[in-house]
Structure 1
Amino acid sequence: MRSALVVGTGLIGTSVALALVTRGVQVYLSDVDRTAELTAASLGAGLAEEPAGPVDLAVVAVPPGAVGGVLAGLQARGAARHYTDVASAKSGPERDAVALGCDPVRYVGGHPLAGGERPGALGARADLFERRSWVLTPRPEAGTETLNTVLELVALCRAVPVVMEAAAHDRVLALLSHAPYVVARLLAERVRRAGRDTAELSGPGTGDLTWTAAADPELWGEVLRANAAEVADAVDELAADLREAAAGLRGLAAPGEPGRPDAPGMSGREDGGMMRGLLGEWNGDGTGVFGGRGGPPVRSRTLAVPIGDRPGELARLFADVAGAGANVTDVRLEHPEAGRTALVHLAVAEAQAGALERALAAREWPVG
């Protein structure tokens, strides 16, 4: 990749631009807010001007509800050879792009799972995405060259590509990111209402739970609107868990305490059993729940899959990998010499490698 256009110079867009500039890519910046655009340029993120001709890749870094319109406008004027976005919801932008007649062959949706406490270009960092997951949601029509280009973007940002369907992405992010933001805002508001004396006693535990509440509420309003149904489901499920936890805690209250249900003769053993029921699924140290980047290393195995030089072949492979339910932790493309077949190297957890190999073979992929 030699050139890129980044549309939207907030935290994520400017961080993408900084990462690309660091790797020698010529970056052009565009934003409806000229001040934000010039701020990003002053940080060394690129040139605040229109490119003279089509760039290799346009990165749409705007709120989810605006992705479709921006993408349609960019494609209409031939701004780039390939296109992607970095919105934190995928199904809505994908539907909008289709409805607006965007070319699906030259577009692959994406979402880097990274962020920061300080919004805007001034919070951007070139290393923001290093070792972080970057979800790609290619439609079946996506062209091989476009997928290669977007994978190159992920590699240049030192991130780890993860391929998912758009709907699956939205369900996962509702649980991992969007619902937690709602909870953080609610908890922060509870602390605020409790008064200054209470807030001044808060420590790092409260801070860890509520720091995301300080994020830009306007931006988060766009995110929640774009994934509202999935977030509502996640919040409903969490609310049910909290009601169950509250009932269990009331059962632990000492006899005669306000809020304790009548439970004559409850023994300490029964109290302990109730507590184990409340916390039994938690293993104490977080491993097995938060086993992502930075967690204990997982043994992996690499499968080499040759692909033909036909439109959509790479997208078809990724769709079959996603359908097999395998967690691919890294992807590397071996570009062929003239007349030779390209190889896609898929790194997958050792425990899943055999099942993925069989699933791909069943789909007539000659796995090496």
Structure 2
Amino acid sequence: MRTVAVVGGGLIGTSIGMALAVRGTAVHVLDRDPVRQAEAAERCGGVAGPPRERADLAVLAVPPGQIARVLREQQIRGLARCYTDVGSAKESVQRAAVAAGCTLEYFVGGHPMAGSEQSGPHAARAELFVGRPWVLTPDRCTGAAALVAALDLVEACGARLVVMAAAEHDRAVALTSHAPHVVASALASALGGAPQEVVDLCGAGIRDTTRIAAGETGLWSDILGSNAGAVAAALEPLVDELTAAVAQLKQAAAASPGAPRPVLADLLDRGGEGRARIMTVQPTPSVRLPRPVASFV
């Protein structure tokens, strides 16, 4: 790719721009906030504003609820030949894009599974995506040109390609990302109302558990709303686990003095097994799919 337009100068958009600039791609950054646009462009060593001619690819790095509108606007404008996004919800974006009258042949959904509780261009890193999964969600409307451009983007950023259906992606990230954010926020909220002498006792464990609760409220509210059904489904089993845990703990608290009180052993065992499984996942090198790519579209 010779020219890429990044729409949205936040953490992800700027990190993409930085990664592409290292590879010699000309990067143009567009953002409705002129200050952030200028800062992101400077971080990328790119240009603030659109290219004079159509870019090879436009990356829509805006919240999921805005993607369809921005896609439609930029397609009418003729910003790029092909388009992809980096939103963490896919089905709702596809439906909104259809309703907005977007040309879906030149668009493929994407989601790099990398980020930070920090936000803004100042937190961006060119190596943010190296070895990380990057999901693409082509469907029967996706044209080969759009998919090839998105594949080039994934490879240029050093990410690991994963191809999924939109609904499958949304269920997966609801369990691995969105529901954990809600849980972390609920836990951090409970601690936020505690007396200072209690907060002073917080150690590394609670800091690690609540780290992601520091994410930007506006962005995460949009993300959760854009994947609401899948997030609710992912939270229901967790609520059942906690309800059962509360019942066991109350029963243990009411037991006679001196009675043995081992509780929640099954949950703790399963938690340990789940943690071990998470920690055994090893990043694999970026995968380059052979062309032609028509089997995915």
Tell me, yes or no, whether TM beats 0.5: yes
The offset of 1:254, in angstroms, is 6.7
The offset of 1:210, in angstroms, is 0.5
Which position in structure 1 is the counterpart of 2:224? 224
Distance (whole Å) between structure 2 residues aligned to residue 21 and residue 173 of structure 1: 29
Which position in structure 2 is the counterpart of 1:278? 267
State the number of aligned residues. Answer: 295
Pick one of 325, 331, 348 that aligns with 2:287.
331
SS of the equivalent of 1:240 reads helix
SS of the equivalent of 2:187 reads helix
**Larger relative helix fraction:** 2
CA distances 1:100-153 after superposition (whole Å, capped 9, x unpaired): 121111110001111113211111000111111111111112112221110110
The offset of 1:343, in angstroms, is 8.1
The letter of the residue matching 2:50 is E
The offset of 1:221, in angstroms, is 1.0
Distance (whole Å) between structure 2 residues aligned to residue 285 and residue 232 of structure 1: 21
SS of the equivalent of 2:276 reads coil
Distance (whole Å) between structure 1 residues aligned to residue 119 and residue 35 of structure 2: 15
Which position in structure 2 is the counterpart of 1:196? 196
Distance (whole Å) between structure 2 residues aligned to residue 267 and residue 121 of structure 1: 57
Distance (whole Å) between structure 1 residues aligned to residue 76 and residue 293 of structure 2: 33
SS of the equivalent of 1:202 reads coil
User: Structure 1 residue 245 and structure 2 residue 245: aligned?
Assistant: yes
SS of the equivalent of 1:83 reads strand
Contact 1:82 1:107 in 2 (8 A): yes
In the superposition, the TM-score normalised over structure 2's length comes to 0.92
CA distances 1:73-122 after superposition (whole Å, capped 9, x unpaired): 11112211111000111111111111112111111000111111321111
Contact 1:162 1:330 in 2 (8 A): no
The letter of the residue matching 2:188 is A
Distance (whole Å) between structure 1 residues aligned to residue 186 and residue 236 of structure 2: 14
Which position in structure 2 is the counterpart of 1:107? 107
Contact 2:131 2:286 in 1 (8 A): no
Pick one of 275, 292, 300 that aligns with 2:281.
292
Which position in structure 2 is the counterpart of 1:154? 154
Instruction: Return 5+ residue gaps in structure 2 as ranges.
Output: none
Question: What pairs with 1:127-146 in structure 2 (closer than 5 Å)?
Answer: 127-146=127-146
Which position in structure 2 is the counterpart of 1:90? 90
Contact 1:132 1:293 in 2 (8 A): no
CA 284–230 in structure 1, closer or farther in 2 if over 3 Å, else same: closer
Which position in structure 2 is the counterpart of 1:3? 3
Distance (whole Å) between structure 2 residues aligned to residue 285 and residue 99 of structure 1: 40
User: Structure 1 residue 212 and structure 2 residue 201: aligned?
Assistant: no
The letter of the residue matching 2:96 is D
CA 280–251 in structure 1, closer or farther in 2 if over 3 Å, else same: farther
The offset of 1:252, in angstroms, is 3.5
Which position in structure 2 is the counterpart of 1:174? 174
User: Structure 1 residue 118 and structure 2 residue 118: aligned?
Assistant: yes
More contact order relative to length (CA 8 Å, sep ≥ 6): 2
Q: CA-atom RMSD, angstroms? A: 2.2
Distance (whole Å) between structure 2 residues aligned to residue 121 and residue 330 of structure 1: 25
Instruction: Return 5+ residue gaps in structure 1 as ranges.
Output: 258-265, 298-328, 336-341, 345-359, 361-368
CA 184–244 in structure 1, closer or farther in 2 if over 3 Å, else same: same
CA 193–92 in structure 1, closer or farther in 2 if over 3 Å, else same: same
In the superposition, the TM-score normalised over structure 1's length comes to 0.75
